[in-house]
């Protein structure tokens, strides 16, 4: 440590950024076993003013990375999705000669699909290792759950390559060679579930549901695991429909073996939704580390505002709050209010939908505030 006034350089401060890729085994293990972040200490404005410049820089850096990584918050939607996934995945104890039914988490962008499914994957991973040990009887590392994500126009070969890449295996060869290699890894590392994120990127899937169903059927034939697909607008493509002509039989086969799940945006059309929104804002508010935050800063004073600006989408809400906090820290404002939030930019989709919602709220046609609990009890 340097003493005040000495010319000695201060020790470098690395910060708690965690730049791993969950689509590689080493990164996935960091997500599964990474230590919980420790919330930076809450300092009052005078305490902050008393900090030496370097201590202030460290404090602010720690707060910024903290605010960028709040969650996963256990919302009622996330808990319900986890319960459904548990039921589907963990009842799949069929022997290898039987196909295991799959799950499809299909919802609009930015609602927290990937976050929720990865959280479930991590949980299942830890529970399996706790029960069965971290080494398989064959002496390999046990990897109960793997996570891969597709990108634009992936073919089956690309998908198999992504699985090989996850396990750190070579990615040379045709689709079948890669599949064989991947199956060997699945069997030796005792993988029981595979999360395939952004499945809508499977090549041709947009225009050709039959082809997509065929490709997914191939996967379920090849890999003796529970497949958890995650994607946007997959059902709309007709993939789960009953196919009647022989050409459409892959649709029927896929539809019969796949259970569709979803995540909904937050809504304020009824009191249950308004209470959930209120609870979510309260939870976030409690986690913020700003000198002048106060109870009700988000959940009361910014409730309508944040709903209109995020349109009830998790990604937009968390981006707004995170950016607002950065602004509040850097500018010394140390609290969130409308004036500050108005300067924060947000994603294009949320901004577009915002105006309409704001107008409805202003006109009194919509509110995000739950009914007063006393009145609720009386009317119940
Ligand atoms: N349970 C949660 N708790 C806290 N923040 C969350 C939660 N779920 C989502 N978020 C926030 O929303 C952002 C987007 O979530 P995520 O990537 O899981 O959405 P998605 O539905 O997979 O989106 P896309 O359709 O773009 O893949 C996250 O980076 C995070 O900031
Ligand atoms: Mg996602």
Q: Give the whole-angstrom CA distance, residue 51 versus residue 126.
A: 41
Residue with tokens 């791993």: 20
- Ligand 1 binding pocket includes 129 (Cβ within 6 Å): no
For the cut 60, the answer to whether the pLDDT of residue 3 exceeds it is no
Is the CB of residue 351 less than 8 Å from the CB of residue 260? no
Query: Considering only the top CATH level, what class is 76-261?
Result: alpha beta
Please compute, for residue 211, the number of CA atoms within 13 A of its CA located in the half-sphere on the CB side: 12
Q: Give the whole-angstrom CA distance, residue 49 versus residue 18.
A: 29
Q: Give the whole-angstrom CA distance, residue 105 versus residue 257.
A: 14
Query: Of 198, 172, 368, which Cα lies nearest the Cα of 270?
Result: 368
Nearest CA to ligand 1 atom 13: 315
pLDDT digits (tens, 9 = 90+) for 68-108: 999 899 999 999 999 999 999 999 999 988 889 999 999 99
For the cut 70, the answer to whether the pLDDT of residue 207 exceeds it is no
- Ligand 1 binding pocket includes 267 (Cβ within 6 Å): no
Question: What residues does each domain of the chain span?
Answer: 45-70+267-379, 76-261
pLDDT-above-70 percentage for the chain: 92
Is the CB of residue 31 less than 8 Å from the CB of residue 22? yes
- Ligand 1 binding pocket includes 112 (Cβ within 6 Å): yes
pLDDT digits (tens, 9 = 90+) for 280-294: 999 999 999 999 999
CA of 264 to the centre of ligand 1 (A): 12
């Amino acid at each position: 440590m340097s003493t005040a006034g000495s010319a000695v350089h201060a020790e470098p401060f690395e910060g708690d950024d965690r730049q791993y890729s969950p689509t590689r085994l080493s990164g996935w293990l960091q997500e599964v076993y990474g230590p919980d972040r420790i919330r930076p200490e809450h300092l009052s404005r005078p305490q902050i003013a008393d900090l030496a410049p370097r201590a202030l820089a460290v404090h602010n850096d720690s707060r910024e990375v903290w605010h960028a990584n709040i969650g996963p918050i256990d919302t009622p939607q996330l808990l319900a999705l986890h319960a459904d996934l548990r039921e589907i995945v963990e009842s799949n104890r069929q022997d290898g000669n039987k196909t295991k039914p799959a799950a499809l988490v299909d919802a609009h962008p930015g609602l927290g699909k990937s976050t929720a499914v990865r959280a479930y994957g991590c949980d299942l991973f830890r529970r399996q290792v706790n029960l069965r040990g971290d080494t398989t009887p064959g002496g390999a590392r046990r990897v109960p759950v793997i996570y891969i994500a597709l990108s634009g126009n992936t073919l089956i070969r690309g998908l198999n390559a992504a699985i090989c890449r996850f396990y750190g295996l070579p990615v040379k060869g045709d689709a079948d060679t890669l599949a064989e290699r991947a199956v060997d890894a699945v069997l030796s590392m005792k993988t029981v579930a595979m999360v395939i994120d952004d499945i809508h990127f499977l090549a041709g899937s947009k225009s050709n549901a039959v082809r997509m169903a065929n490709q997914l059927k191939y996967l379920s034939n090849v890999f003796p695991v529970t497949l958890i697909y995650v994607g946007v607008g997959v059902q709309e493509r007709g993939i789960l429909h009953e196919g009647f002509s022989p050409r459409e039989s892959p649709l029927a086969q896929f539809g019969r073996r796949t259970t569709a799940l979803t995540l909904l945006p937050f809504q304020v059309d009824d009191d249950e939704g308004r209470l959930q929104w209120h609870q979510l804002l309260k939870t976030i508010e409690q986690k913020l580390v700003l000198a002048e935050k106060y109870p009700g800063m988000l959940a009361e004073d910014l409730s309508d505002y944040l709903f209109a600006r995020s349109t009830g989408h998790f990604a937009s809400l968390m981006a707004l709050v995170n950016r607002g906090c950065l602004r509040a820290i850097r500018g010394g404002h140390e609290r969130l209010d409308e004036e500050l939030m108005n300067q924060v930019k947000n994603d294009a989709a949320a901004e577009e939908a915002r105006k309409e919602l704001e107008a409805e709220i202003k006109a009194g046609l919509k509110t995000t505030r739950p009914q007063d609990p006393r009145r609720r009890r009386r009317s119940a």
